[in-house]
Structures are given as C-alpha cells and as structure tokens.
Chain A
Amino acid sequence: MTILLFSALLLCFSFLAGLLGSLTGLGGGIVIIPVLVLLFHINIHYAMGASLISVIATSSGTTAAYIREGYTNLRIGMFLEVAAVIGAFFGALLIAFVSKTFLTVLFSLVLFFSAYLTIKRNEEHDHYKTSHPWATRLKLDGTYRLKNGESVHYHVQNVPIAFFIMGVAGVLAGLLGIGSGAMKVLAMDQALCLPYKVATTTSNFMIGITAAVSAGIYFTHGYIIPSITFPVLIGVIAGAFFGAKLLTHINNRVLRIIFSIVICFIGIQMLYNVLVGAA
C-alpha cells in the first residue's frame, strides 16, 4: 500500500469515527482507536497518540463555538480539572509500565461502560433547593438562560464524589489517550446533578486541558507520529463538525442506542483479538 492510499483511507475512517463519536456523544477518541488497531493494524500506542491529539482539537473547536452561549460552568470545570489533570498525568506515566494486552482489555471495558452510560442516560433531574457545602464555599452554583430569555438557576450536589470520579476519568484519559467524556459527564450529570447541557459543555471544556497534560508525556514517549496523526486529526475534526450539524436535525435516542451497540461489538472484537493473540 502506498502512503497516499493509506492516508486517504485513514482520513475516511477518521471522518466516520468523528461522526459516530459526535452522534453518540461518546467522542471521537474512543471510536478511532479500535479502527486504527483493528483495520489498520497500527500499534495501539500510536493509535492512542493520534486519538489524544484529535480529542484536544475537538474540545478546543467545540469550546470555541459554545463558550459564549453561557452553559459552560467554568468554576466547576476548573475545580474538577485539578483532579482530572493529576489523574491524566499519572495515567500517562503508567503507560510505560503496563502491557499492550492490559491496555487493550482495559480499553474494551471502558468502551462497554461508556456505551452503557450513553444508553442509560437520563436527562431529567430532581430540582434541589440547597447546595453541597463545598459548592457554596467555592461558589459553584450557576445560572443559564433558556431561549425564551428565562434564567434557570441550579444547585450543585455531591462535590467530593464528582471530584473522585474526575480523578479516575483523568487516569483513564491519560492511560488510553481518550477524552473520557462519558465518565466526565457521569460525574457532573449524576453526582453534581447539573442540567445535562451544562454537564456536556463543561465536560467538553475540560477534555482538551486533561488531554494536553497527557500529550506532553506522549510526545516524549514518541507515541505521537505526525504521519499517522495528520489524517486522523483532519478526519475526526471534520466528522465531529458534521456530526454536530446533523445532531440538531436528528436528536434521536434510538439512533444513539444502535450506535452504542455497534461500538460494543467493536469492543468485543478488540477483546477477542487480544485474548486469541495472547493465548
């Protein structure tokens, strides 16, 4: 195969991965890694490096587009980011000590868990009248405006649990080269009880910073290969952009479930390959 054909194929599949990642809400990273490993037989470390970079680009692009809408809660984002960056730093350091088989198995498990969270997601919350004491001290509560101009105020719950989940999400992000978006949303949606739109935009805001901490270590390890990363980066950005446009037209729960099941099959295939390969 020539480099031109290889790059063109990589670009097409990365576009599809970005599209699928954006439509399911799972993120481009978690979809592109199995594609690179299963279809292109690329070393999982390089796949993780390319994914990590596309995750930073997607987060930057979406944050640039959405930050002025006022849903992103910067105080919550920055506070929880402390746990996420520490996790991501140690996660990225750990790569040198764990085997590729372990990484692949862990990746498949995270894939199943993320798909499960995506299917199960419940966008409605009870309305709380009070906040967690940490939230009051750090002034984490926020307000956003509905389209009709009405302001909605929300109270933040269970801050320590969310902080802990964010640390775990950070470790997984660093260890696997993904954004850990599903888990970040879990921490904010389920633990903090934030409105769904606030949880997803704040998670998007955080992902780029978490991934940038791991990227420094990935560069030093030599996991970020420019010739693999460029078609992946361009493809994932284009796919995510197109997916976001499409989402406003087809916000369909059934679609999300079907895609999540497809992603589970990809996970099973990865698990099968590594277990048969290791036997």
Chain B
Amino acid sequence: MLSIKKMQTMMGFILLVGTLLSTILVTLGGILYLLQSGSDSIQNEWLPIDATYMSIQQIWQFALSFSPLGMIELGLLLLVATQTVRVALLCWFYAMIQDYKFLIISSLILIMLIYSSFWRSTII
C-alpha cells in the first residue's frame, strides 16, 4: 500500500522540479528580454490603462512563440500547471488508499483548477 510518507516525498519532488524549471524559464526569458530591449524606454501601457482579454489560444501561441516574453509566459503557465499536478497526485493517492470522501474532495478542487484555466469570459 502507498504510504503517506512516499506521497509526501513525491509531492515535494514535483513542487521542487516545477518551481525550479519555471524559475529557470522565467529568468532565462527575462535575461534575453533585457538583452534585446533593455535599453528601450518603458512603455506607457504598463501604467494605469485597462487590460485586454486574451483567449486560451492567444495565451498558448504567445507562450510557444520562442520570444523572450513568451518564454517567461511559458514559465508562469508551468508554475500554475504544477499546482494542478500536485492536486492530481492527491486524487490518485486517495483513490489508491480507497478514501472516497477525500477522493471526491480532491477531485472537486482538480475540476475547479482545470475549469478556471479554460474559463472564457462571456461578458465581452
């Protein structure tokens, strides 16, 4: 039977790898971005203006565009995805030890995580 100790070690490992990989991607992307555009003046669109909606496809196209900012975005998405993986690990763990109450609880959280990632605004 799967012990809680083993599961905790696995979760620690997943979180460590996910956070490290994402930090590396973000740092690399950041350095490349500064090398490319560091000497430009800051753009005023960062300052108080309203954000624009992005579709899931736009977010992923941007993240996979191999541009420095895309690399940072990919790192950020990876960090969010790591959270989904750790909840999925708990679902699997509770299924393995046949704790059905907690399987339902973890699955609910997993569904919310996945649903919010694919959430599309209906108000625009």
Q: Using a CB–CB distance below 8 Å, which chain A residues touch chain B?
A: 1-4, 6-7, 41-46, 53, 56-57, 60-61, 63-65, 67-68, 70, 72, 74-75, 78-79, 81-82, 85-86, 89, 92, 96, 100, 138, 208-209, 211-217, 219-231, 233-234, 237
Contact = CB atoms under 8 A, between A and B. Distances in A.
B87 to A, nearest CB: 6
Nearest to B59: A219
Contacts of A63: 11-12, 15
Contacts of B38: 2-4, 7
Nearest to A77: B90
B26 to A, nearest CB: 5
Interface string B72-90: 1100110110111011001
B39 interface: yes
A7 B68 CA distance: 14
Interface string B3-26: 011001101110110110011001
A233 to B, nearest CB: 6
Interface in B69-124: 69-70, 72-73, 76-77, 79-80, 82-84, 86-87, 90, 101-102, 105-106, 108-109, 112-113, 115-121, 123
Contacts of B72: 226-227, 229-230
> Chain A interface secondary structure, helix, strand, loop or mixed?
helix
Nearest to A6: B42
Contacts, number: 185
B23 A237 contact: yes
15 contacts: A3-B39, A42-B46, A43-B51, A45-B50, A53-B76, A56-B80, A57-B79, A64-B11, A75-B102, A78-B105, A82-B108, A86-B112, A220-B119, A221-B54, A230-B30
Contacts of A60: 15, 18-19, 79, 82-83
A226 B79 contact: no
> Chain B interface secondary structure, helix, strand, loop or mixed?
helix
A64 to B, nearest CB: 4
A243 B106 CA distance: 32
B78 to A, nearest CB: 11
